[in-house]
A = this chain, B = another copy of it.
Amino acid sequence: MIVILLILCQIVLLMKYILQDLKVNINNNIYLKDPESSDLGKKIVEFSILLINDIGFDSFTFKKLGAKIGSNESSIYRYFENKHKLLLYLTSWYWGWLEYQLVFTTNSISDAKEKLTKAIEIITRATKEDSAFSHINEVLLNKIVINEYSKSYLTKEVDNENKEGYFSIYKRLINRIKDMIIEVDNTYRYPTSLASTVAEGALHQHFLRDHFSSLTDCDDQITPTTYFIDLVFNSLNHTTNG
């Protein structure tokens, strides 16, 4: 009976996802006007991903984006205060989307090790397929996160923005992984640091693979997933299983 209910729940979630009723819930102080609420807003999000991926966040401007979507610079400013806020929006969306996959996929797994393995897989893999339902290209967004995410928090305003809750989705995601680590080994002393190391480290290893191949073992054969699963499980089960 309970099993059937659980399965039904998942089907509902799956349908929501497919029908794009899924909406990543982003702190509404990040935007001035919800970009999901209009065609222009969606276009801003859609094409900013393409443009940032293309020319990089540093040389990305609202003027260039306006030109790209045949719209006015000042119209874009009605949605986002500045490009930094737009980056916060995009990366929050990405982490929310990852969190969704994480929860959805690991939900039904009861074995703690298997669950953690799956979780690591999800946060360390490269996004390979665009969902094709929405205006958001997840493959490119994943690349943007690899190349630009650090810039969203390596600022002088980070403490204020953190207080405002601009990073709460990311923090919740790391927290979920931390909990899964504890479930595997509650004697391990650094579950939070390990969780943040995996998430941040995975982005870094992907970056190194693309630009500094001499600084990583990751290549076509070895993925960041392989490496981090090994790393994590070498640290856990160590004290408990000996």
Cβ-defined contact, A193 with B216, below 8 A: yes
Contact A196 B192 (CB under 8 A): no
Interface string of A187-205 (1 = CB under 8 A from B): 0011111111100110011
CB neighbours of A190 from chain B (8 A): 217, 222, 227, 230-231
Q: Which chain A residues in 154-176 approach chain B with CB under 8 Å? A: 154-156, 158-159, 162, 167, 171, 174-175
Are B194 and A231 in contact, with the CB atoms below 8 A?
yes
Which residues in chain A, 130-153, are within 8 Å of chain B measured between CB atoms?
147-148, 150-151, 153
Is the CB of A13 closer than 8 A to any CB of chain B?
A: no
Q: Is A25 at the interface (CB under 8 A from chain B)?
A: no
Considering the complex, which residues of chain A in the window 192-242 have a beta carbon less than 8 Å from any beta carbon of chain B?
192-197, 200-201, 204-205, 207-208, 211-212, 214-218, 222, 224, 227, 230-231, 234-235, 238
- Chain B residues closer than 8 Å to A195, beta-carbon distance: 215
Residues of B within 8 A of A129 (CB): none
With A154-B151, A212-B171 as known contacts, state yes or no: A189 contacts B230, CB within 8 Å. yes
Closest chain-B Cβ to A214's Cβ sits at a distance in Å of: 6
Chain A positions near chain B (C-beta within 8 angstroms): 55-56, 58-59, 147-148, 150-151, 153-156, 158-159, 162, 167, 171, 174-175, 189-197, 200-201, 204-205, 207-208, 211-212, 214-218, 222, 224, 227, 230-231, 234-235, 238
